[in-house]
């Protein structure tokens, strides 16, 4: 068998790439494709190989060029979950796909199917729009000293603008009323602060929608305790990931939630759950999440009627109590396996649920283009170099900042002088508190005097001078102002 195999089901007028995945992936994909076929979806399927088998062939990205070619050509990937091998040396294929294809918006609807699927919240009907390319998921991590590792959290204005505009467009186009932004901008004032600021800016263009902002910790708590109050939630990558699993779990099962990933040129549709190796090969997995992801794909392709037929047959199947093991309860009438569940859905194509709300899909929201403003040099701000944070690996056995501080004051060269030293963000010199625990990782802040008198070469000279004095410089971060506004955080206690 070649790595790419074509199966034509019906009138072949839209090609999509299909990845059968690992673990329960092939079983739930088989079930999903059988339903698409029975519903007469006018699709042509190109099978692509990615995941565990590709990793095991020594390809550390988990995807080969044939698969990339197919996805580039079709622009659509229907993907079953894959298993990410444990241990170092391999990159997460899911993150690679999202970032390489520019799939910036991850749309994760969640609803409850009460009383047929047990939940404390019978009226959940919400969507999480999660940023998909940035944040700590940029995967830029370093070990800097014996004791300290770091992960860079990147939040960009173009990234926020396209994601948040998409979230507003989505809310409006789906006839939804409220968009809640969640961030932690009380602590991360620059990164999460930018996300919140862009949310407020774009909200001004949508006066008919209700908007609100919640700090992520209370927002997540409310989502767990009272999910029915939410309509659409938009959040940076990491928070959005956690929020959508909370939402799916409190609605009944992660086995029921599908998701869509949208970019300018490609889209990817998948279940939110993983490859469930604990139940793989047993024909007991619930295929509903992948079926619902396939329905999101059909809506994206403009086949709303077919998506509605499948979704309503799925709801009817759940309503009559035909359930896979994960949602089997005293409300169930029959426990079925993966393929039998698919067969039950196929038998109900054309039927509508009687108790659960009949599903009607509206067209997908349009994908916003990146604002041209972002690339216009006329919008560049005036940047001024004010100083530099120099990070040192210093492991004096006493770990006493009152030894390090005076030594750095002596070693500093013009126009810089030492302003402070922090350890894990807390000021420890001058006038630190002796209770503060110090690691071997020191952030030493040097400011230019007079303000703004420094040039980039002065930073290099300072770094050189410190190295000459025996200091182990591991990293530097320049300190700027933009349009006269300080653009770096203060140390705690500074």
Sites of contact with ligand NAD (CB under 6 A): 24, 81-84, 94, 254-255, 270, 273-279, 285-286, 289, 326
Query: Of the two residues 33 and 386, which places its CB atom closer to ligand NAD in the complex?
Result: 33
CB-based contacts of 50, cutoff 8 Å, min separation 6: 19, 62, 63, 64, 67, 79, 82, 93
Q: Which residue is nearest to ligand NAD (CB)?
A: 274
Query: Shortest approach of ligand NAD to residue 267 CB, angstroms?
Result: 15
Query: Of the two residues 38 and 279, which places its CB atom closer to ligand NAD in the complex?
Result: 279
Please give the Cα distance from 25 to 23 (Å, whole number). Answer: 5
Query: Shortest approach of ligand NAD to residue 98 CB, angstroms?
Result: 10
Query: Shortest approach of ligand NAD to residue 202 CB, angstroms?
Result: 29
Query: Shortest approach of ligand NAD to residue 238 CB, angstroms?
Result: 14
Query: Shortest approach of ligand NAD to residue 288 CB, angstroms?
Result: 7
Query: Shortest approach of ligand NAD to residue 276 CB, angstroms?
Result: 4
Query: Shortest approach of ligand NAD to residue 23 CB, angstroms?
Result: 6
| φ/ψ of residue 184, rounded to 5 | -120, 55
Query: Of the two residues 94 and 119, which places its CB atom closer to ligand NAD in the complex?
Result: 94
Please give the Cα distance from 11 to 27 (Å, whole number). Answer: 25
Query: Of the two residues 40 and 274, which places its CB atom closer to ligand NAD in the complex?
Result: 274
Locate tokens 């079925």: which residue? Answer: 336
Query: Of the two residues 189 and 282, which places its CB atom closer to ligand NAD in the complex?
Result: 282
Q: Which two tokens stand for residue 330?
A: 């005293």
Query: Shortest approach of ligand NAD to residue 442 CB, angstroms?
Result: 36
Query: Of the two residues 250 and 285, which places its CB atom closer to ligand NAD in the complex?
Result: 285
Query: Of the two residues 325 and 447, which places its CB atom closer to ligand NAD in the complex?
Result: 325
Please give the Cα distance from 490 to 179 (Å, whole number). Answer: 32
Query: Of the two residues 44 and 245, which places its CB atom closer to ligand NAD in the complex?
Result: 245
Strands 14-19 and 5-8: what pairing?
Answer: unpaired
Query: Of the two residues 287 and 415, which places its CB atom closer to ligand NAD in the complex?
Result: 287
Query: Shortest approach of ligand NAD to residue 34 CB, angstroms?
Result: 16
Nearest in space to 425 (alpha carbons), one of 139, 188, 203, 110: 188
């Amino acid at each position: 068998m070649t790595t790419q195999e074509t199966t034509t089901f019906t009138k072949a007028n839209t090609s999509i790439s299909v990845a059968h995945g690992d673990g329960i992936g092939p079983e739930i994909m088989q079930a999903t494709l059988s339903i698409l076929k029975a519903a007469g979806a006018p699709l042509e399927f190109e099978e692509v190989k990615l995941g565990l088998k590709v990793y095991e062939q020594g390809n550390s990205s988990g995807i080969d060029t044939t698969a990339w070619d197919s996805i580039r050509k079709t622009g659509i990937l229907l993907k079953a979950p894959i298993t990410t091998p444990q241990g170092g040396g391999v990159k997460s294929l899911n993150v690679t796909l999202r970032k390489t294809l520019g799939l910036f918006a991850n749309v994760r609807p969640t609803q409850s199917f009460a009383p047929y699927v047990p939940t404390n919240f019978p009226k959940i009907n919400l969507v999480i729009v999660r940023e998909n390319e940035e944040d700590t998921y940029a995967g830029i991590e370093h070990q800097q000293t014996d004791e300290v590792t770091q992960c860079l959290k990147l939040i960009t204005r173009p990234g926020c603008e396209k994601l948040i505009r998409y979230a507003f467009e989505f809310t409006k186009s789906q006839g939804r009323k409220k968009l809640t932004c969640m961030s932690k901008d009380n602590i991360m004032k620059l990164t999460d602060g930018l996300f919140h600021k862009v949310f407020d800016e774009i909200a001004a263009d949508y006066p008919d929608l209700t908007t609100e902002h919640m700090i992520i910790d209370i927002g997540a708590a409310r989502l767990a305790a009272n999910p029915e109050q939410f309509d659409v939630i938009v959040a940076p990558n990491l928070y959005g990931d956690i929020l959508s699993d909370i939402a799916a779990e409190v609605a009944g099962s992660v086995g029921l939630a599908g998701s869509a990933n949208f970019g300018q040129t490609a889209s990817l549709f998948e279940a939110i759950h993983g490859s469930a190796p604990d139940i793989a090969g047993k024909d007991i997995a619930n295929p509903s999440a992948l079926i619902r992801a396939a329905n999101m794909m059909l809506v994206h392709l403009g086949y709303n009627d077919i998506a509605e037929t499948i979704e309503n047959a799925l709801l009817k199947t759940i309503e009559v109590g035909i359930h896979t093991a994960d949602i089997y309860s005293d409300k169930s009438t029959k426990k079925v396996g993966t393929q039998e569940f698919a067969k039950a859905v196929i038998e109900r194509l054309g039927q509508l649920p009687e108790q659960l709300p009949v599903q009607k899909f509206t067209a997908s929201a349009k994908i916003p283009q990146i604002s041209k403003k972002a690339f216009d040099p006329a919008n560049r701000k005036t940047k001024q170099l004010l100083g530099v944070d120099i990070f040192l690996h210093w492991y004096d056995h006493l770990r006493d900042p009152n030894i390090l501080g005076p030594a750095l004051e002596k070693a500093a060269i013009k126009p810089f002088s030492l302003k402070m030293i922090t350890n894990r963000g807390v000021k420890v010199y001058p006038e630190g508190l002796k209770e503060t625990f110090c690691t071997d990782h020191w952030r030493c802040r040097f400011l230019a005097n007079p303000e703004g008198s420094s040039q980039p070469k002065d930073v290099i000279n300072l770094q050189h001078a410190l190295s000459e004095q025996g200091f182990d410089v591991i990293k530097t971060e320049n300190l700027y102002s933009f349009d006269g506004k300080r653009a770096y955080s203060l140390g705690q206690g500074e």
